[in-house]
Amino acid sequence: MKRDEYNSFLRKVKCSDEFRSRMQQKLSSAPAETTEYADSVSGTDVITAKHRFGRAAALAAAFVIVCGAVGGGAYQLVRYNFKTGQRTGADNQIDTDKIDRNAPILDNMRANKDCFTTDLVLWNGYVGNVCTLSDVDTNKFFEYMDNYGTPADLSADDFTSTLRAIKLYFDCKTGEMKNHCYALELYDNGLFILRENDKGHVVKDEERESYHIFSNGYKVFHELLNLYADSETIADFEQVTEKEIEEQLLNGFRNGIFDKADYFVHVNRQEEYTVTDKEEFANELMEFEWERAFAMNGDVNHYYLGFTATEDGYMQFSNYMTYKLKNDSDLEAYNAVLKKHLIKKDFGEAVSEEDILNAFKDIPEDKAQFFDKSGLKTTFCKYNESDFEGFREKLASLEWETCSKVELEFEQVLTVKNCLIDLNGIIVSANKDNPCYKLKNESDKAEFRSIIDEFMESFEETESE
């Protein structure tokens, strides 16, 4: 069976109505002196627990993907760009002949790069702004972009933010095009947003945004980081806090289903495990020191339990945040924690007739679907309830035993009342935890197929569900 895809909860970033309203209000008001800046954040639900692990209810407000990255961060972008103060290059004004409303935003930025002052913010979704640098060298950015070339475009629906970003704000304070400004938000996955906002005399309150991706995003992110920040600032920005790891683990465990874990040898799923005492498990993982990592070694054995934990000391979460043990000396203790809380399931226990009868969900449904991998075809059919009752009783009369879902082949699969029947002799129950049963005796397979064929002969094919 192929490896399950883990990235089921990617979040999409869009500019909210609230953001637009706040921006317009800010642009239309007189500038005021501002001395402090802090990105607003919004949270997601996390697991509720009793003590240290349960602190996430209060900490969850810092776990930001959408509202913090755009709803709060983008609004703060405007607050920050329009703060008052002495700035170099403030007397420059945009050449209105170089602003093409239909041209790519980056082209307009390049054409008017000498007209702007530029500020940089290093942002972390858990703490907000880590560092703010005013009046940085604008030319460094455009020289880098000229050497890189043109990044690929993305649609808004394909855009995914992470919890760390470099934000560059370009704006003009005086002249005919006063308050015409640009912004770039680059996330550490290499995806970025460009924004163009105009409160000038030519086009009132116009705003545009576009989405892009660098082909080697992790590399570009860190090259730009090193271009502007000193080693001390970078160290602060790269630091992994206990709060961050706790939030990641809370949401990672929440993604797990029914306290289950799958064990993979390289990329092939081999065994099922039970996750025990998630609270203690998380606390013990938080005892280790962690540092950021770009990617894991795909050839290393690993567990998936709502997040990925590898045997060589890496953890990766659904938002692509990846961490590794800071100290190699902790690897043995780390693997001991995994073995303590991940218990291999035992199979081969006898299954009662009642278990098989109850493997089908009690719903008023008279439709089944049959998937044949050889033809990559799914057929939808209707059946009579009386035929189903006889079919279920005949299956229950055979001998069954518990088994791992790893044994599923998915070559030919029949689904009836939410119960999945693999025609190699395996049933996945519709009950809680979806227990898996297989024929105890190989000699029963012929009778099993006969029961299936007899039931399917009564099917009336339909075009869809």
Share of the chain above pLDDT 70, in %: 74
Q: Which of 344, 362, 385 is the last residue of a domain?
A: 344
How far is Cα of residue 138 from the mean position of the Cα atoms in its chain?
A: 32
Does 4 fall in a domain? no
More confidently predicted of 298 and 440: 440
Q: Is pLDDT at 74 greater than 80 in this prediction?
A: no
Q: What angle do CA 59, 11, 49 make, to 5 degrees?
A: 30
Q: Is pLDDT at 88 greater than 50 in this prediction?
A: no
Does 6 fall in a domain? no
Where in the sequence is the domain holding 306, given as residue range(s)?
252-344
* Mean per-residue pLDDT over the chain, rounded: 79
Three-state DSSP at 245 gives helix
What is the pLDDT averaged over residues 101-108? 88
Q: Is pLDDT at 144 greater than 70 in this prediction?
A: yes
**376: region left, alpha or beta (phi > 0 left; psi from -120 to 50 alpha):** left
Quote the pLDDT of residue 6: 33
What is the pLDDT averaged over residues 28-43? 37
Q: Do 224 and 260 belong together in one domain?
A: no
Cα→Cα distances 68→80, 123, 185, 205, Å: 15, 10, 12, 24
Sheet architecture: strand order including 260-265? 290-292, 322-325, 314-316, 308-310, 302-304, 260-265, 268-275, 342-344
Does 243 fall in a domain? no
What confidence tens digit (pLDDT) does each residue in 446-455 have? Answer: 999 999 999 9
Q: Do 305 and 433 belong together in one domain?
A: no
Distance CA 166, CA 271 (A): 41
Pairing of strands 260-265, 350-351: unpaired
Q: Is pLDDT at 184 greater than 80 in this prediction?
A: yes
What confidence tens digit (pLDDT) does each residue in 295-333 have? Answer: 777 789 999 999 999 999 999 998 878 999 999 999 999
Q: Which of 309, 344, 379 is the last residue of a domain?
A: 344
Q: Do 265 and 226 belong together in one domain?
A: no
Query: How many structural domains compose the chain?
Result: 3
Quote the pLDDT of residue 76: 36
Quote the pLDDT of residue 353: 96
Quote the pLDDT of residue 245: 95
Sheet architecture: strand order including 181-187? 128-133, 117-124, 164-171, 181-187, 191-198, 206-213, 152-154
- Residue 279 tokens read as 């609270």
Q: Do 263 and 314 belong together in one domain?
A: yes
**128-142, 150-164, 258-272, 417-431: range with lowest mean pLDDT:** 258-272
- Residue 47 tokens read as 């697991």
More confidently predicted of 230 and 386: 230
Q: Is pLDDT at 9 greater than 70 in this prediction?
A: no
Q: Is pLDDT at 392 greater than 90 in this prediction?
A: yes
Q: Is pLDDT at 23 greater than 90 in this prediction?
A: no
Does 197 fall in a domain? yes
**64-73, 151-160, 226-235: range with lowest mean pLDDT:** 64-73
- Residue 31 tokens read as 């500038």
Q: Which of 184, 215, 238 is the last residue of a domain?
A: 238
Q: What angle do CA 268, 271, 277 make, to 5 degrees?
A: 125
